Amino acid sequence: MSALATRGSLGTVRADVVGSLLRPPALQAARLARARGELAADGLAQAEDRAVDEAVALQEEAGLDAVTDGEYRRDNFYSLVFDAVEGFEPLSPADSADIELSWRGGTGRAQAPSRAVCTGRLRRRRPLAADAFAYLKGRVRRAVPKVTLPAPSFLARYWSPRLSAHAYATRDAYLADVVAVLRQEVADLVAAGARYIQFDAPNYALLVDPDSRARFGDPERLVPAWAEADNAVLQGFSDVTFGLHMCRGNNAGMWAAAGGYEPVAEAFGRLRHERLLLEYDDERSGTFAPLAHVPDDKVVVLGLVSTKAPEVEDPSRVEARVREATAYVPLERLAVSPQCGFASVAAGNPVAWEAQAAKLAVVGEVAKRLWP
């Protein structure tokens, strides 16, 4: 079966985007003012609205076929869960050693992510992203509005045998409620008109590195369990395309794992998401050979434009890399994107605003050349 004939397929989305964008200075200032008590909640919301308007214009001008709201209403790519779901509490640095990653590379300093742990039964107090998506959908002119959510496989990290067991005796029991919360959210998103929902699942690609694998466990055990939870969120929804993004960590231009996809290539066949967004910006990602394991009903979105390095890529070289990948996946089942978000954590990667715009334009240009 061709990927272009699958349920909810978005075959025309060739120039894709992963999620977060650099926060504009005005939005950063508004967030600081709100934190100091100098700006009311509606003032921050207005600043966020203006920033989202700019994000949509930036992406559409770059020629992207899918656009997000830049994740501008979040502190990081997954903080919306802790903001909207009852049952999590902040985790002290002393108690967070088992979920901390060892950041490498780059020239900056890793930014502190949201640390939390499940301490009670999960209950969605309000939508995670459905309201934000409704605003985005009303601003997009020609592209497909896209929304991102953290995958259950990522949220598995926030169950602790010591701190969570009184609420959920096992991680599997906790994940069952994570899935239920996310299915509620997907239902609301679909009702709001979402047709492209991406789940962020960095844990898979973290398993490619021996150091991080030692922390998480054996891929042969974890990949099937994670895929089962990630697939459970999708069941029963039609007329919507689901994507899943894998990366090796993205924080202030730093990374947490290195290695090719071979140790987790089994996931390509187990996952039911129609689009796999895979990090391929440099040698840390290995070769394209593991793509031979991708079933022929999936689109592979090649993350060939770096959001970590400030240098802007040559479109011809990116185009050549896409053609290299056709040794394993035909061109009709490929697309192109940045390798990750530009600001998975709000302070962002060491990339200038102008370079971000230029990199997005490279994605649009390459897509225009390859899929006119």
Residue 9 pLDDT exceeds 80: no
Task: Say which range, 45-59, 116-130, 253-267, 285-299, has the weakest mean pLDDT.
Answer: 253-267
Higher pLDDT, 90 or 33: 33
With a pLDDT cut of 70, the percent of the chain lying above it is: 92
Give the SS3 label for residue 89. strand
Strand partners, 104: 255
Both tokens of 112, joined, read 């502190």
Among residues of the chain, what percentage have pLDDT more than 90? 79
Strand partners, 299: 275
Asked whether the predicted pLDDT for residue 7 surpasses 50, the reply is no
Average pLDDT across the chain, whole number: 91
Sheet strand arrangement including 275-279: 147-150, 196-200, 241-246, 275-279, 299-305, 334-338
pLDDT at site 187: 97
- Whole-structure pTM over 0.85, yes or no? yes
Provide the greatest CA pair distance for the chain: 56
Stretch 270-288: mean pLDDT = 95
| CATH entry 3.40.50.1970 includes domain 3-370 | no
Query: What pLDDT does residue 2 have?
Result: 36
Give the span between the Cα atoms of 346 and 342, in whole angstroms: 9
> Of 6-15, 146-155, 205-214, which gets the smallest average pLDDT?
6-15
How many beta carbons lie within 10 A of that of residue 218, not counting itself? 10
- Contact between 158 and 88 under an 8 Å Cβ cutoff? The reply is yes
Query: What is the per-residue pLDDT for 219?
Result: 86
Residue predicted with more confidence, 99 or 122: 122
Report yes or no: 181 and 85 within 8 Å, Cβ to Cβ. Answer: yes
Give which of 153, 155, 86 is closest to 124, Cα–Cα: 86
362, amino acid identity: V
**Of 245, 132, 272, 142, residue with least CA distance to 194:** 132
Mode of pairing for the β-strands spanning 66-67 and 85-90: unpaired
CB 68 within 8 A of CB 16: no
The string of DSSP codes covering 279-299 is E-SSGGG--SGGGGGS-TT-E
pLDDT given at position 5: 36
Orientation of helix 171-191 relative to helix 219-232, angle to 10°: 40
The answer to whether the CB of 322 falls within 8 A of the CB of 334 is yes
Look up residue 204 and give its amino acid.
Y
* Radius of gyration (C-alpha) of the chain in whole angstroms: 19
**What b/e sequence results for 311-344 when a residue is b if at least 16 CB atoms lie within 10 Å of its CB, and e otherwise?**
ebbebeebbebbeebeebbeeebbbbbbbbbbbb
**Cα 313 → chain centroid:** 21
Task: Select the more confidently predicted residue: 67 or 106.
Answer: 67
CA distance 88 to 238: 31
Give CA–CA dist 134/194, Å, rounded: 9
> Does the pLDDT value for residue 110 go beyond 90?
no
Residue 78: left (phi > 0), alpha (psi -120 to 50), or beta?
alpha
Distance CA 101, CA 255 (A): 9
Asked if pLDDT for residue 108 goes beyond 90, the answer is no
Report how far residue 19's alpha carbon sits from residue 146's, in angstroms, rounded to the nearest whole number.
8
Estimate the crossing angle of helix 130-139 against helix 41-61, to 10 degrees: 50
Contact between 309 and 353 under an 8 Å Cβ cutoff? The reply is no
Q: Residue 95: pLDDT band by 50, 70, 90 thresholds?
A: low
The structural domains of the chain, with segments of one domain joined by +, span 3-370
Range of lowest pLDDT (69-73, 88-92, 215-219, 306-310): 215-219
Tokens representing 96?
């967070």
Buried b (16+ CB within 10 A) or exposed e, 11-44: bebbbbbbbbbbbbeebbebbeebeeeebeeeeb
